Amino acid sequence: MNITVRVWRQKSTHHKGSMVTYHVEDVSPDMSFLEMLDALNERLTLEGADPIAFDSDCREGICGTCGLVINGIAHGPKPLITTCQLHMRSFNDGDVIDVEPWRAEPFAVVKDLVVDRGAFDRIIQAGGFISAPTGAAPDAHAVPVPKAHADAAFDAATCIGCGACVAACPNGSAALFLGAKITHLGLLPQGQPERDSRALAMIEQHDAEGFGGCTQIGECTAVCPKDIQLDVISRYHRDVLAAMVHRDT
């Protein structure tokens, strides 16, 4: 296939960016989207031009580092996959494809398509952990967990922190990410001692980072590669309210 990509190029956080057009020839439908960008970068390097900066690590939908807005959709046109799992067979010969970074105030563009998602790390640092006593490992199944809670906690724990939910949200809210992180620990017995402080600290950090509020639009779930559902947002709202009542009484 021969395609045209219009890519956001930006030298650094403090430079202005713009879309730059590249024609890419002999693209195999079996290439991943990132391999297509690799091939383009090889050509740019051989031409002495600056290759396009973009993030990736595992390239199999696990690490959450890749993330591009492709034709206006976070992670591209196929639901339930990350950018690295998208293949060129999802496009047609002659297509013009727009490629942009996540756009949200707390995710500053570092260069081209790379954004700084350190805000997510700081939200996790604020409360996304449990305190475990040291000593011998406890016996397996010493702490019973109801099956429904274990399943819901596991579903929430599949969030890979990619940030697509923020990129898609018209409010720039990280509520789906926050809900997933608060839910997966708050549903387990091991997460109970810090349940209140976790909810309050994480929402406080979320707001301090400049993410917007959730108005239940649902764009986040539509682009989430791990199918995190809106119920995690209801759960964290309940946890935050309960924590405020406990704190104030």
Q: Which is nearer to ligand SF4, 97 or 159 (CB)?
A: 159
Given a contact cutoff of 8 angstroms between Cβ atoms, the answer to whether 125 and 161 are in contact is no
Strand partners, 111: 114
DSSP H helices, the chain, are: 33-46, 118-127, 147-157, 164-168, 175-186, 195-208, 219-223, 231-248
Q: Report which residue type is found at 180.
A: A
128 binds, among ligand FES, ligand SF4, none (CB under 5 to 8 A by kind): none
Compute the least distance from the CB of residue 124 to ligand SF4, in Å. Answer: 11
Distance CA 234, CA 238 (A): 6
Q: Which is nearer to ligand SF4, 31 or 126 (CB)?
A: 126
The most distant pair of C-alpha atoms in the chain lies apart, rounded to whole Å, by 67
Binding site for ligand SF4 (CB under 6 A): 159-165, 176-177, 180, 224-226, 228
Q: Which is nearer to ligand FES, 85 or 205 (CB)?
A: 85
197 binds, among ligand FES, ligand SF4, none (CB under 5 to 8 A by kind): none
- Build a one-symbol-per-residue string for 56-95: x at contacts with ligand FES by CB under 6 A, - elsewhere: xxxx-xxxxxx---------------xxx-----------
Compute the least distance from the CB of residue 224 to ligand SF4, in Å. Answer: 3
Task: List, in order, residues 6 or more apart from 158 with CB less than 8 Å away.
Answer: 180, 226, 227, 228
Compute the least distance from the CB of residue 60 to ligand SF4, in Å. Answer: 14
Rounded to the nearest 10 degrees, how much is the dihedral formed by the CA atoms of 25, 164, 150, 134?
100
Compute the least distance from the CB of residue 75 to ligand FES, in Å. Answer: 9
Compute the least distance from the CB of residue 86 to ligand FES, in Å. Answer: 10
Cα atoms found within 13 Å of the Cα of residue 70, Cβ hemisphere only? 28
Compute the least distance from the CB of residue 121 to ligand FES, in Å. Answer: 16
Q: Which is nearer to ligand SF4, 6 or 103 (CB)?
A: 103
63 binds, among ligand FES, ligand SF4, none (CB under 5 to 8 A by kind): ligand FES
Q: Count Cβ atoms within 10 A of the Cβ of residue 43 and give its class: 0-12 exposed, 13-18 middle, 19 or more buried.
A: middle
200 binds, among ligand FES, ligand SF4, none (CB under 5 to 8 A by kind): none
Q: Find how far residue 112's CA is from the centre of its chain.
A: 18
Distance CA 12, CA 111 (A): 5
* Contacting residues toward ligand FES, per CB under 6 A: 56-59, 61-66, 82-84
